[in-house]
C-alpha cells in the first residue's frame, strides 16, 4: 500500500490558480473507517465558491471553513482497506461517499430530517473531499454503487440529484402540471428536469444562452425560454393556458431570479429556491401584497435526507435518471476544470479523474 498520494488542495482563497497538485500522505484509517481509491469526483459550483473565499456563515451544527482544504462533495471508487470494526465493507467493493452524511442521532435526524442534521460535517465542506487519489470515510458514510453503473456516472449523480429529490417533496408536480426550472444548463437543473418529467409534468427550462436551445430540448425540456427576455412570464402563461406555472424550481438563485420566479407562478403556485449565486448577494426582496394576492408558497431546500440519497441510487440502477457528463479532466488539471466551469460553458457535469 502506498504511503503517499497525489491530491489537489488550496492553501489560500483566490482564482483557479490557487489549486495545487501536491503529494501528501495517504489518509489514516480508523477502526470504523474504510479507505477508498477514488476513481471519479465531480467539480461543483460550491467548489468554485469555496475556492474563491465567497463563503456563507457556517450553518448550525457545522464547523467553520478550513484552509488548507481539499474540495470534492462527490467521490466514487473502490474500497482498498477497512478498519478493525468494519464488517459490511470489503476490499474491492465499489462505493461512493454520501454528500450529506447524517449523524443519525440528533433530534432532527431522529425526526427523519437528516438534511438538517445539527451534528455533522460534510465532505468538501469541513471534511477533506474527493480531490485526491484516496479518501477515508466512516463506514456509515458511504453507499454501494449499483451493478452496471460506472464510477463516472456515480460521481455525477449524488449531489446533483439528491437535493432535487428533496425539492420535489417541497413543491411536488405531477401529470397536468407545469414546472419552470431556471439555469437549465446546470447539472442540478437537468436533474430537476428529469425528476419532473418522471412525475409526468411539463417542464420549461430557462437559459441566458440562446445558442443552447436545441441541445437542452434533447435533454428532456419541453420548452426552452430565455431569462433575459422581459416577455418570459407572459410566455410561461401562454404555455399554461393563461394560468402560469404550478411551480418554479429556481436553481440559479439571487433576487433577480426570485422575482422572475414569483412572476411566473400561477395563483396558489409555489417557488422553491435551490441555488444562491456566488457572485451576487443572497438577500431576496418580498412584496407581501403580491404574495398574498397570488397566495404563492415560498420554500427552500437544504441538502437531502438519507432516504433521498438511497432513492437516488435506486432510480439510477433502474435507469430512470441519467446524469449528463459534459467534460472530464485528470486530477492534475483541476485548475483547467475550475476555469471551464467558471466560464459557464458546460451542459451537465464536470468531473475529475484521479
pLDDT at res. 56: 84
Q: Which tops the pLDDT comparison, 213 or 41?
A: 41
For residue 30, name the pLDDT band (cuts at 50, 70, 90): very high
pLDDT at res. 251: 93
Q: What angle do CA 15, 18, 24 make, to 5 degrees?
A: 150
Instruction: Provide CB contacts within 8 A for 299, sequence distance 6+.
Output: 170, 171, 270, 271, 272, 273
pLDDT at res. 233: 96
Query: Residue 176: is its pLDDT beyond 70?
Result: yes
Q: Determine the topology of domain 4-156+324-353 in CATH.
A: Quinone Oxidoreductase; Chain A, domain 1 (3.90.180)
Cβ atoms within 10 Å, residue 250: 29
Nearest to 252 by CA among 199, 184, 182, 152: 182
Query: Residue 3: is its pLDDT beyond 70?
Result: yes
Q: Which tops the pLDDT comparison, 290 or 260?
A: 260
pLDDT in tens, 224-254: 999 999 999 999 999 999 999 999 999 998 8
pLDDT at res. 13: 96
Query: Residue 317: is its pLDDT beyond 90?
Result: yes
pLDDT at res. 71: 98
Pick the CATH number of 162-300 from 3.90.180.10, 3.30.470.30, 3.40.50.300, 3.40.50.620: 3.90.180.10
Q: Any idea where the domains of the chain sit in the sequence?
A: 4-156+324-353, 162-300
Burial grade of 253 (CB within 10 A; 0-12, 13-18, 19 or more): buried
Candidate from 124-128, 151-155, 282-286, 316-320 with smallest mean pLDDT: 282-286
Domains 4-156+324-353 and 162-300 share a fold: yes
pLDDT at res. 278: 63
Amino acid at each position: 500500500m502506498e504511503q503517499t498520494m497525489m491530491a489537489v488542495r488550496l492553501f489560500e482563497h483566490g482564482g483557479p490558480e490557487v489549486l495545487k497538485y501536491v503529494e501528501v500522505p495517504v489518509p489514516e484509517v480508523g477502526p470504523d473507517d474504510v479507505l477508498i481509491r477514488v476513481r471519479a469526483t465531480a467539480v461543483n459550483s460550491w467548489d468554485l465558491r469555496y475556492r474563491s473565499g465567497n463563503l456563507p456563515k457556517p450553518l448550525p451544527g457545522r464547523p467553520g471553513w478550513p484552509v488548507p482544504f481539499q474540495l470534492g462533495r462527490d467521490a466514487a471508487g473502490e474500497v482498498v482497506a477497512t478498519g478493525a470494526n468494519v464488517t459490511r465493507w470489503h476490499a474491492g467493493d465499489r462505493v461512493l461517499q454520501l454528500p450529506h452524511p447524517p449523524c443519525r442521532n440528533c433530534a432532527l435526524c431522529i425526526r427523519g430530517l437528516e438534511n438538517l442534521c445539527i451534528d455533522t460535517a460534510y465532505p468538501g465542506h469541513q471534511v477533506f473531499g474527493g480531490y485526491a487519489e484516496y479518501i477515508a470515510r466512516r463506514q456509515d458514510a458511504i453507499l454501494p454503487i449499483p451493478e452496471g453503473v460506472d464510477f463516472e456516472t456515480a460521481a455525477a449523480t449524488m449531489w446533483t440529484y439528491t437535493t432535487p429529490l428533496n425539492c420535489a417533496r417541497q413543491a411536488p408536480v405531477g401529470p397536468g402540471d407545469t414546472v419552470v426550472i431556471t439555469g437549465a444548463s446546470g447539472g442540478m437543473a437537468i436533474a430537476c428536469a428529469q425528476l419532473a418529467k418522471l412525475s409526468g409534468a411539463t417542464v420549461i427550462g430557462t437559459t441566458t444562452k440562446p445558442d443552447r436551445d436545441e441541445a437542452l430540448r434533447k435533454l428532456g425540456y419541453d420548452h426552452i425560454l430565455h431569462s433575459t427576455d422581459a416577455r418570459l412570464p407572459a410566455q410561461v402563461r401562454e404555455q399554461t393556458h393563461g394560468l402560469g406555472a404550478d411551480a418554479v424550481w429556481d436553481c440559479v438563485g439571487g433576487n433577480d431570479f426570485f422575482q422572475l420566479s414569483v412572476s411566473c407562478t400561477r395563483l396558489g403556485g409555489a417557488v422553491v429556491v435551490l441555488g444562491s449565486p456566488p457572485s451576487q448577494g443572497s438577500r431576496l426582496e418580498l412584496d407581501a401584497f403580491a404574495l398574498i394576492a397570488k397566495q404563492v408558497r415560498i420554500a427552500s431546500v437544504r441538502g437531502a435526507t438519507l432516504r433521498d440519497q438511497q432513492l437516488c441510487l435506486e432510480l439510477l440502477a433502474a435507469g430512470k435518471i441519467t446524469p449528463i457528463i459534459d467534460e472530464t479532466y485528470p486530477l492534475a488539471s483541476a485548475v483547467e476544470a475550475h476555469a471551464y466551469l467558471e466560464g459557464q460553458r458546460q451542459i451537465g457535469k464536470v468531473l475529475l479523474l484521479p
